[in-house]
Amino acid sequence: MPDSTPQLTYGMQPSAFTKELVGSYDAFEEIDLPSYLGVRAQTTETAAVRAPYSAVPISMHTVNLLTVQADLSTLTKKESKMHSAFIEGLLARQAELKKQVRAMPDLAAHATEKAFAAGFLLFTDQ
Protein backbone atom coordinates (compact mmCIF):
# COMPACT_ATOMS: atom_id res chain seq x y z
CA MET A 1 0.00 0.00 0.00
CA PRO A 2 1.35 3.46 -0.88
CA ASP A 3 0.41 4.91 2.52
CA SER A 4 2.57 2.37 4.33
CA THR A 5 5.71 3.59 2.54
CA PRO A 6 5.17 7.26 1.71
CA GLN A 7 7.75 9.05 -0.41
CA LEU A 8 8.31 12.79 -0.57
CA THR A 9 9.49 15.09 -3.36
CA TYR A 10 12.46 17.40 -2.92
CA GLY A 11 9.92 20.03 -1.84
CA MET A 12 8.70 17.66 0.90
CA GLN A 13 5.37 16.95 -0.84
CA PRO A 14 3.86 13.47 -1.29
CA SER A 15 5.53 12.04 -4.40
CA ALA A 16 2.43 10.60 -6.05
CA PHE A 17 -0.04 13.44 -5.59
CA THR A 18 1.26 16.96 -5.05
CA LYS A 19 -1.08 19.92 -4.76
CA GLU A 20 0.28 21.23 -8.05
CA LEU A 21 -0.72 18.01 -9.81
CA VAL A 22 -4.38 18.10 -8.84
CA GLY A 23 -6.18 19.01 -12.02
CA SER A 24 -3.10 20.08 -13.96
CA TYR A 25 -0.68 17.13 -14.41
CA ASP A 26 2.10 19.34 -15.67
CA ALA A 27 4.59 18.94 -12.85
CA PHE A 28 6.12 15.54 -13.58
CA GLU A 29 9.50 16.86 -12.47
CA GLU A 30 8.07 17.06 -8.95
CA ILE A 31 7.16 13.38 -8.65
CA ASP A 32 8.83 10.03 -8.61
CA LEU A 33 7.30 8.68 -11.83
CA PRO A 34 7.60 4.95 -11.02
CA SER A 35 5.85 5.49 -7.67
CA TYR A 36 3.17 7.65 -9.23
CA LEU A 37 2.45 5.12 -11.98
CA GLY A 38 2.42 2.38 -9.35
CA VAL A 39 -0.28 4.20 -7.40
CA ARG A 40 -2.30 4.70 -10.58
CA ALA A 41 -2.01 1.02 -11.53
CA GLN A 42 -2.92 -0.06 -8.03
CA THR A 43 -6.09 2.04 -8.20
CA THR A 44 -7.32 0.10 -11.23
CA GLU A 45 -6.32 -3.26 -9.77
CA THR A 46 -7.93 -2.58 -6.40
CA ALA A 47 -11.19 -1.73 -8.15
CA ALA A 48 -10.85 -4.76 -10.45
CA VAL A 49 -10.85 -7.14 -7.49
CA ARG A 50 -14.14 -5.86 -6.10
CA ALA A 51 -15.86 -4.35 -9.13
CA PRO A 52 -14.28 -5.10 -12.50
CA TYR A 53 -16.91 -3.01 -14.28
CA SER A 54 -15.90 0.07 -12.27
CA ALA A 55 -12.24 -0.58 -12.92
CA VAL A 56 -12.75 0.17 -16.63
CA PRO A 57 -13.80 3.84 -16.28
CA ILE A 58 -11.25 4.29 -13.49
CA SER A 59 -8.57 3.08 -15.89
CA MET A 60 -9.98 5.28 -18.67
CA HIS A 61 -9.71 8.25 -16.29
CA THR A 62 -6.08 7.44 -15.57
CA VAL A 63 -5.25 7.19 -19.28
CA ASN A 64 -6.97 10.53 -19.88
CA LEU A 65 -5.09 12.21 -17.03
CA LEU A 66 -1.77 10.90 -18.24
CA THR A 67 -2.28 11.64 -21.93
CA VAL A 68 -4.90 14.27 -22.81
CA GLN A 69 -4.45 16.32 -19.63
CA ALA A 70 -0.72 15.82 -19.15
CA ASP A 71 2.18 17.94 -20.27
CA LEU A 72 4.78 15.30 -21.01
CA SER A 73 7.46 17.74 -22.12
CA THR A 74 9.38 17.49 -18.84
CA LEU A 75 9.77 13.71 -19.00
CA THR A 76 13.21 12.35 -19.69
CA LYS A 77 13.65 9.84 -22.51
CA LYS A 78 13.65 7.01 -19.96
CA GLU A 79 10.52 8.37 -18.25
CA SER A 80 8.81 8.84 -21.61
CA LYS A 81 9.39 5.17 -22.43
CA MET A 82 8.11 4.19 -18.98
CA HIS A 83 5.04 6.40 -19.47
CA SER A 84 4.31 4.92 -22.92
CA ALA A 85 4.68 1.36 -21.64
CA PHE A 86 2.39 2.15 -18.71
CA ILE A 87 -0.31 3.58 -21.00
CA GLU A 88 -0.06 0.59 -23.36
CA GLY A 89 -0.33 -1.77 -20.39
CA LEU A 90 -3.31 0.07 -18.99
CA LEU A 91 -5.10 -0.01 -22.33
CA ALA A 92 -4.46 -3.76 -22.54
CA ARG A 93 -5.77 -4.17 -19.01
CA GLN A 94 -8.91 -2.23 -19.96
CA ALA A 95 -9.50 -4.67 -22.83
CA GLU A 96 -9.08 -7.63 -20.44
CA LEU A 97 -11.50 -6.11 -17.94
CA LYS A 98 -14.08 -5.38 -20.63
CA LYS A 99 -13.87 -8.99 -21.80
CA GLN A 100 -14.23 -10.21 -18.20
CA VAL A 101 -17.26 -8.01 -17.57
CA ARG A 102 -18.88 -8.99 -20.88
CA ALA A 103 -18.63 -12.63 -19.76
CA MET A 104 -20.66 -11.88 -16.62
CA PRO A 105 -24.33 -12.63 -17.37
CA ASP A 106 -25.66 -9.96 -15.02
CA LEU A 107 -23.41 -7.23 -16.49
CA ALA A 108 -22.92 -8.20 -20.12
CA ALA A 109 -25.82 -6.10 -21.42
CA HIS A 110 -24.37 -3.02 -19.68
CA ALA A 111 -20.78 -3.54 -20.83
CA THR A 112 -20.99 -1.50 -24.01
CA GLU A 113 -18.45 1.08 -25.12
CA LYS A 114 -21.15 3.72 -24.70
CA ALA A 115 -21.80 2.65 -21.10
CA PHE A 116 -18.10 2.61 -20.25
CA ALA A 117 -17.72 6.07 -21.80
CA ALA A 118 -20.62 7.33 -19.67
CA GLY A 119 -18.89 5.94 -16.59
CA PHE A 120 -15.69 7.69 -17.58
CA LEU A 121 -17.55 11.01 -17.80
CA LEU A 122 -18.28 10.73 -14.07
CA PHE A 123 -14.55 11.40 -13.54
CA THR A 124 -14.21 14.39 -15.81
CA ASP A 125 -15.84 17.64 -16.79
CA GLN A 126 -15.33 16.95 -20.50
Domain ranges of the chain: 2-121
For residues 33 and 125, what is the distance between their CA atoms, to the nearest angstrom?
Answer: 25
Note the pLDDT of residue 95.
97
Residue 51, SS3 per DSSP? coil
Question: How many whole angstroms separate alpha carbon 28 and alpha carbon 40?
Answer: 14
- For residue 67, what are the contacts with CB-CB under 8 A and spacing of at least 6? 87
Backbone phi, then psi, for 21, in 5-degree steps?
Answer: -80, -25
Check: CB of residue 53 under 8 Å from CB of residue 110: yes
Residue 8 has pLDDT above 60, yes or no: no
Three-class DSSP category at 16: coil
pLDDT of residue 1: 43
State the pTM of this model: 0.75
Write down the pLDDT at residue 70.
Answer: 85
Model pLDDT, residue 2 = 47
CA angle centred on 5, ends 89 and 87, rounded to 5°:
15
Dihedral sign of CA atoms 2, 81, 97, 57 in order:
positive
The residue that leads in pLDDT, 108 or 122, is 108
Q: Is 77 helix (H, G, I), strand (E, B) or coil?
A: helix
- Is 48 or 119 the better-scoring residue by pLDDT? 48
Model confidence at 17: pLDDT above 60: no
